[in-house]
Amino acid sequence: MDRGGTVAVALSTGEMTSPQGLWAKEAERLLRLQRRLAHATGGSNRRKKTKALIAGLKAREVDRRKDWVQKTTTDLARKFDVIRVENLIVKAMTLSARTTVVELGRNVARKAGLNRGFLKSGGGLLVARLEQKEPGRVEKVKAACRSQTCNPCKHIASDRRKSQATFVCVSCGHRANADVNAARNIAAKHGVTARADRSVLARSVEREPQHGRPPQVA
């Protein structure tokens, strides 16, 4: 399972899903309210009312994200015996765009936008909920080079991602959705030993019998 800001979850099976945020009209209303708030007088009733309306829209967005997390984790737990995800440190990722006068950052605006997208996608919350629902069945694997590696030929290059959605291998010519290609690399157990893999499968079978079908991995 690959997590991102544009596409919240991409599976090695090719499935992709993201939480429903605000509708277009709701997003336009939020922008208008934020502009109104910027011009409102501090401490005025107008400012208080505007802040309350903004909080209501943001709460609606959070509720939809939580609902998506609950439904998605339930679906994943039913479909797969082992769920592999990147070992991402979400807090470190969301702080990485910060810069100071002493140490200037690079591409700060772009990084900040990516970080906001990742937080809105609910990727960290989704993994935490999965671990609560399916203890022992969620494996965290190394995230290094997973988006730069061609899944069929395993060649690594930094110029593979032609766009946000397209992955093209400069070695074998393989073309795929970039997030799905990354998810297939994660499912290929990069950084996971065979011994650890067997122990997780043993716990999975003991916890929830699968009636003889082969283990399913996302």
Q: What DSSP element (H or E) covers 17?
A: strand 16-17
pLDDT at residue 209 in the model: 38
Active site residues: 2, 86, 179
Contacts of 56 (CB under 8 A, 6+ apart): none
For the chain, the C-alpha Rg in angstroms (whole number) is 21
- pLDDT tens digits, one per residue of 26-81: 999 999 999 999 999 999 999 999 999 999 999 999 999 999 999 999 999 999 99
Q: State the pTM of this model.
A: 0.74
By C-alpha distance, which of 67, 64, 3, 56 is closest to 30? Answer: 56
Tokens of 32: 């208008």
| Lowest-confidence pick of 21-25, 82-86, 123-127, 128-132 | 123-127
pLDDT digits (tens, 9 = 90+) for 124-144: 899 999 999 999 999 999 877
Q: In this prediction, what percent of the chain has a pLDDT beyond 90?
A: 52
If pLDDT is split at 50, 70 and 90, which confidence band does 196 have? Answer: very low
Q: Which amino acid is at 88?
A: L
Euclidean distance between CA atoms 104 and 109, whole angstroms: 12
- Average pLDDT, integer, range 146-164: 81
How far apart CA 106 and CA 116 sit, in angstroms, is 17
Q: Are 1 and 146 in contact (CB under 8 A)?
A: no
